[in-house]
Homo-oligomer: A and B are copies of this chain.
Amino acid sequence: MKLATIKNGHRDGRLAIVSRDLTKAVYAGTIVDTMIEALENWHQVETPLRNRYALLNKGCLNEAFDFDPIKAMAPLPRCYQFVDASAFLNHGNIMEQAYNLDVKKEQTIPILVQRQSDDFLGARDDYTFPSEADNADFEGEFAVIVDDMPMGIGTEEAENHIKLVLTLNDMSMRTHLFRELQMGFGFINAKPATAFSPVAVTPDELGDAWHNGRVCLNMDVTHNGVRFGNPNGREMDFSFGQILSHLAYNRNLKAGAIIGSGTVSNTNWKEVGSACLAERRALELIEYGECRTEFLKYGDRLTFDVKGTDGRSVFGSIEHTMMPS
């Protein structure tokens, strides 16, 4: 099942079901109004929503309309908890090597970053920030959304609470990131608003590509129309279940919590490239002794897309332009 939230002037938008091929949509109608309500009542609404999804895919719903990603908010336009992991250790290893960082991470504990969740952007919204001197960067990531999870839950059980999968661009302001990393209390100015794919999908939509709590598909990234990278999600060093279990050690997670994977990064980066500028710059620094790629400028265009095993876009693409705030 594929779900989106359509702009309607309200903070939580209006829940819509989107056809598997992303061409058609229909409002959830009398089942439930918003995505957050759906997640809070997943056991009640899942079957009726899936039934309606089946009818939509068969072309049986007269009230269906063309799905336009421009009209989509983030699938969850806001939520109560967003945690972004750094679960591709390859990325951290490259950054540490290039910049001689000494991150005291432990191999059994994923790096997690608590993030704000009050102002998510839709997939086609302009991305605004106050200064190019902030060294804006993107990070292509996978993410999951869960329903209510109790404190102390184990890895396997945690994975059963993953109701939806989506992608995000974790925009990062590198000028602030290095300063805030040194302070050691997490990110504030380094991590402004996050943009999400137009559609979130249930894990079964991924077929065999949802494996071991990971999305084993390529994250195709372009920058100003040029291919930037297409690393695969299968190299995630911690599964989403492991991340969730670590996070829930001493906290309850409430419906709608979003967990990001961290920037997708592969060991065969020479073939597949990267999903963020900082990693490419770090690889340039290691290889050539200097960074050759610049950070984002106003007017720069980015796209993030993930194709399923059938070659079709799974989540719809994030496509946005950098703009002054």
Q: Which residue on chain B has the smallest CB distance to residue A104?
A: B182
Taken residue by residue from 143 to 175, chain A's Cβ proximity to chain B (1 for < 8 Å, 0 otherwise) reads as: 000000001100000000000000000000100
Contact A80 B118 (CB under 8 A): yes
Which residues of chain B have C-beta atoms less than 8 A from A105's C-beta? Answer: 183
Which residues of chain B have C-beta atoms less than 8 A from A249's C-beta? Answer: 130, 189
Given the known interface contacts A129-B250, A192-B251, the answer about A104 and B173 at a Cβ–Cβ threshold of 8 Å is no
Which residues of chain B have C-beta atoms less than 8 A from A181's C-beta? Answer: 184-185
Closest beta carbon of chain B to A126's beta carbon, Å:
13
CB < 8 Å neighbour of A183 from B104, B119, B182, B254: B104
> Complex formed: what's the CA distance from A129 to B184 in Å?
25
Q: Answer whether residue A79 sits at the interface, using C-beta atoms and an 8 A cutoff.
A: yes
Interface centre among A79, A81, A83, A129 (most CB of B within 10 A): A81
Which residues of chain B have C-beta atoms less than 8 A from A83's C-beta? Answer: 116, 188
Q: Which residues of A (26-67) have their CB < 8 Å from a CB of B?
A: 40
Q: Which residue on chain B has the smallest CB distance to residue A134?
A: B250
Q: Answer whether residue A209 sits at the interface, using C-beta atoms and an 8 A cutoff.
A: no
Q: Which of A106-114, A217-225, A233-241, A272-280 binds B?
A: A106-114
> Complex formed: what's the CA distance from A146 to B158 in Å?
34
Q: Answer whether residue A308 sits at the interface, using C-beta atoms and an 8 A cutoff.
A: no
Q: Which residue on chain B has the smallest CB distance to residue A131?
A: B250
Given the known interface contacts A152-B325, A184-B181, A252-B193, the answer about A81 and B130 at a Cβ–Cβ threshold of 8 Å is no
Closest beta carbon of chain B to A264's beta carbon, Å:
18
Contact A185 B118 (CB under 8 A): no
Contact A114 B116 (CB under 8 A): yes
Contact A114 B115 (CB under 8 A): yes
Contact A250 B173 (CB under 8 A): yes
Which residues of chain B have C-beta atoms less than 8 A from A256's C-beta? Answer: 118
Contact A111 B250 (CB under 8 A): no
28 CB-based A-B contacts, threshold 8 Å: A11-B254, A80-B80, A80-B116, A80-B118, A81-B117, A81-B118, A86-B185, A103-B183, A104-B182, A104-B183, A106-B183, A114-B115, A116-B251, A118-B253, A119-B253, A128-B151, A129-B250, A130-B151, A130-B249, A151-B325, A183-B184, A185-B187, A186-B186, A188-B246, A188-B247, A192-B251, A193-B251, A250-B325
